[in-house]
Structure 1
Amino acid sequence: MCFAKRVNKLYNFVMTKVTLLTNIPAPYREKMHELVSEYLGGAYTVVYCAEKESDRKWKVKYGNYDKLVLSKISSNAVHNNPEVIKYLNKLNPDVVVIMGFYPTMLYAYLWSLFRAKKLIVFTDGTLQSESHLSLIHKIVRRIVFLKTSAFVGPSEASAALYESYGINKNKFYRTYLSVNNKLFINGSSIDKKFDLMFSGQFIDRKMPLFFVEIARLVKKQFGKCDVLILGNGILEKDILTLLDKYNIDYSFPGFINQEELPKYYAQSKLFLFPTVNDPWGVVVNEAMASGMPVITCSNAGVANDLVINDLNGYVLPLSEMVWVDKIVEIFNDDTTYKRLSVNAISHVQKYSFDNAAKGIVDAVNSVL
């Protein structure tokens, strides 16, 4: 029985209208919104600042829930939609959930303050991902948190971020970042064409050039290294030039839409997720659901949460030879690889849409 049906037996729910504000639709959160709406009896509306951001190529299949889109496309991630006040007046929610601190979300915060409505803050951020914030940004968060009734995030690292602002952990509700695990698991037994896989934006923060260098060194030490690269971005030419220069066999199908991803993940043996700074890393969910062990670093929100060292992958310092030595060690030990692969599939199962929805629903119930 799914969470949305099960919770009706657990709570005496009084119809409460909830509005959640976020930046743009994301394919990995559509099912979560559906389940939250189902539990709330349809009294749930998601307000998007924009339909798309210019650097995102997602094709989103919308879920069955009420939604509003304030603008067609945003040229950057700093959303400023003052017209949100008009829509909040019309919706008149009892509970407002803001995902972030863009001007649009701060308008919603002020609306909830003056209308004496309950406010919930939902952020994917971590201490690492928000370490660059200015004093002004941190002051804004402290001011908003003073009037916030509950706090939501996808990881223990998010909980630690809230605690750094003095928030009681009892006010934190976890909503898991999730993918459709069942879609990916079918490929876990397929023969692997590629040794290493990278999936993400081709930007400096995602460290695709580090991945290429790892592939070069693995080939030098292991004798071969065939790689699969999914994504797009400004570093594409640099990546492909280096792969050709190093004579590394690779496949580069470009940006792949969500429904096609499982067949690509199924072809790869080991997933690498280096990053300068990442609040989570949904690509790691996809990799583990496919049975791929993952190597990442402490800069990723998935580290020591979804990726557990020596259980389903490794959390390593961003040192090329440390990564290369571990990769070669895994490739030379079938028993270890199989153990990591089985554990990857097992561990990712709790990162489900049901548990994602449960975090929001529990937060809403806590403020009523």
Structure 2
Amino acid sequence: MNKPRHRVLLVSSQPIQNTAALRLMAVHPQLDILVAYCSLPEAQTLHTSSLQHSSEFLTQAAFDIPWLEGYPWRYIPNRSPKPNLTKPYGLINPGLVKLMSEYDCCVVYGHAFVSFWMAIAAAKLSRKPLFLTTDATYLEAPEGGNWKIPLKRQFLPALYNQVADGVLVPSSASRHFLESLGVASEKIFLTPYVVDNERIALTAAQTHKAQIRADWGIPEDAVVAIFCAKFIPRKRPLDAIQAFAKANVPNSYLVMVGVGPLDAELKAAAEQLGVADRVKFPGLIKYSRLPEAYAASDLLVFPSEHEPYGLPVNEAMICGIPVLVSDRIGATYDLVISGETGFAYPCGNVEKFAELLQELLSDRDRLVKMGKMAQKRMETWSARENVEGLILAIEKHLNPSK
């Protein structure tokens, strides 16, 4: 007997660069989905207001893979008088209300915009299961505004316990965070934050490592650590350069992939620390070619201080290299198995960062072994697990007897 197909409306502010899970949902025999977008890049709503000058969006141009292919989607016209993605009133999409009537349940990716509350209200009024999502792992905001913390401590449990029928989280870190706030465990469903594992693995396997290193000006026999993130304060790129200099491993190099307002400061620091000849700045690398950069390296370093999840961990491990990350990276809890797939250290502790970096860069064989274990771990952190988590949440509410 065939299982029933669940009609699911997914409401998102804008297209995302990783659509593997959406593409799998589109062909899954138990799902009939539609992704409702409240803005589109070509509509220029992504680049209005202060967002245009935000350092957080410096690398949007790097995502050169298809965002809108392989799954059903619809743009719901934005009626906001001031369209933007920085203010709650920047997205006002009343068409979501009528659309909700056509589906069995609704997934809303957040609660930051008027449009999201329209979808939330429509789902509740029509008595259809409502699932919210969050990747939060702590109450602090990267841009400050910590005066909101007491409000969040009261608001979030009420939202997830009383308004939502379920909460979809991308990591165990988010699950533990919500539980610490008092959100009921049975309401939380793990839907792993994933990338296109197959595409990334294929690109990595086809990489000409020697050529990539030659382009960087790095010897083929060197050991290479790679940093891949925006050059902004919360990513702590300076920590990577300082730790690399302290580690001082012979024939080692650090590749700093990215752009941002700290660019000049980072290059000056490399000069002052005497490692400018071994710290390379290749600039922005297109997302489709990023796996080549990982595959040409031996270790990812990721020292961020505010990173609710951290997709570079997925990407690097799929490419067969281990990771050295700060303990503020949300992906750490599920993917970084200490001594096997990588290591975590206390964020901001450059001494410990350098100690681990020295240990790892001095043992190439260990890096290779850990890289293979990292690849193995990613076999069960894929779009398949993401979709299974969603179906589990949906069936709990649409088929409660099961």
Q: Scaled by the length of structure 1, what TM-score is found?
A: 0.86
Q: Assess, with a 3 A threshold, how the Cα gap between structure 1 residues 44 and 291 changes in structure 2: closer, same or farther.
A: same
| Equivalent-residue separation in structure 2 for 1:129 and 1:67 (angstroms) | 33
| Equivalent-residue separation in structure 2 for 1:211 and 1:321 (angstroms) | 11
Pick from 101, 110, 130: which aligns with 1:100?
A: 110
Pick from 120, 123, 130: which aligns with 1:119?
A: 130
Paired position in structure 2 for 1:273? 302
Paired position in structure 2 for 1:156? 172
| Equivalent-residue separation in structure 2 for 1:83 and 1:128 (angstroms) | 26
Cα offsets for 1:281-321 (capped at 9, x unmatched): 11111111111111112111022321111111111123212
How big is the shift at 1:40? 6.0
Task: Please tell me whether the aligned partners of residues 211 and 274 of structure 1 are also in contact (alpha carbons under 8 angstroms).
Answer: yes
Matched, 1:17 2:7: yes
Task: Please tell me whether the aligned partners of residues 105 and 129 of structure 2 are also in contact (alpha carbons under 8 angstroms).
Answer: yes
Matched, 1:37 2:47: no
Task: Please tell me whether the aligned partners of residues 211 and 272 of structure 1 are also in contact (alpha carbons under 8 angstroms).
Answer: yes
Paired position in structure 2 for 1:232? 259
Q: Which amino acid aligns with 1:258?
A: Y
| Equivalent-residue separation in structure 1 for 2:208 and 2:344 (angstroms) | 25
Matched, 1:110 2:140: no
Equivalent residue pairs, number: 355
Can you give the 5+ residue segments of structure 1 that lack an aligned partner in the other structure? 1-8
Mean Cα deviation higher: 290-299 or 157-166: 157-166
How big is the shift at 1:74? 6.4
Task: Please tell me whether the aligned partners of residues 27 and 258 of structure 1 are also in contact (alpha carbons under 8 angstroms).
Answer: no
Task: Please tell me whether the aligned partners of residues 129 and 278 of structure 1 are also in contact (alpha carbons under 8 angstroms).
Answer: no
Pick from 243, 246, 253: which aligns with 2:282?
A: 253
How big is the shift at 1:69? 3.4
Q: Assess, with a 3 A threshold, how the Cα gap between structure 1 residues 353 and 96 changes in structure 2: closer, same or farther.
A: same
Report the secondary structure of 1:17's partner residue.
Answer: strand
Matched, 1:216 2:245: yes
Matched, 1:175 2:191: yes
Paired position in structure 2 for 1:5? none
How big is the shift at 1:171? 2.7
Q: Whose helix fraction is larger, Structure 1's or Structure 2's?
A: 2
Paired position in structure 2 for 1:67? 73
Q: Which amino acid aligns with 2:180?
A: S
| Equivalent-residue separation in structure 2 for 1:87 and 1:173 (angstroms) | 24
Mean Cα deviation higher: 75-84 or 140-149: 75-84
Of all paired residues, the percent bearing the same amino acid is 21
Q: Assess, with a 3 A threshold, how the Cα gap between structure 1 residues 313 and 41 changes in structure 2: closer, same or farther.
A: closer
Paired position in structure 2 for 1:186? 205
How big is the shift at 1:354? 1.2
Q: Which amino acid aligns with 1:20?
A: L
Paired position in structure 2 for 1:324? 354
Q: Which amino acid aligns with 1:186?
A: A
How big is the shift at 1:268? 0.9
Paired position in structure 1 for 2:368? 338
| Equivalent-residue separation in structure 1 for 2:119 and 2:155 (angstroms) | 14
Paired position in structure 1 for 2:392? 362
Matched, 1:243 2:270: yes
Report the secondary structure of 1:226's partner residue.
Answer: strand
Q: Assess, with a 3 A threshold, how the Cα gap between structure 1 residues 169 and 84 changes in structure 2: closer, same or farther.
A: same
Task: Please tell me whether the aligned partners of residues 23 and 99 of structure 1 are also in contact (alpha carbons under 8 angstroms).
Answer: yes
Matched, 1:51 2:80: no
How big is the shift at 1:273? 0.7
| Equivalent-residue separation in structure 2 for 1:16 and 1:328 (angstroms) | 52
Mean Cα deviation higher: 83-92 or 261-270: 83-92
Paired position in structure 1 for 2:337? 308
Let me know the Cα RMSD of the aligned residues. Answer: 2.7
Matched, 1:90 2:99: yes
Q: Assess, with a 3 A threshold, how the Cα gap between structure 1 residues 223 and 334 changes in structure 2: closer, same or farther.
A: closer
Q: Which amino acid aligns with 1:239?
A: L
Can you give the 5+ residue segments of structure 2 that lack an aligned partner in the other structure? 47-51, 211-219
Report the secondary structure of 1:198's partner residue.
Answer: strand
| Equivalent-residue separation in structure 1 for 2:252 and 2:367 (angstroms) | 16
Report the secondary structure of 1:195's partner residue.
Answer: strand
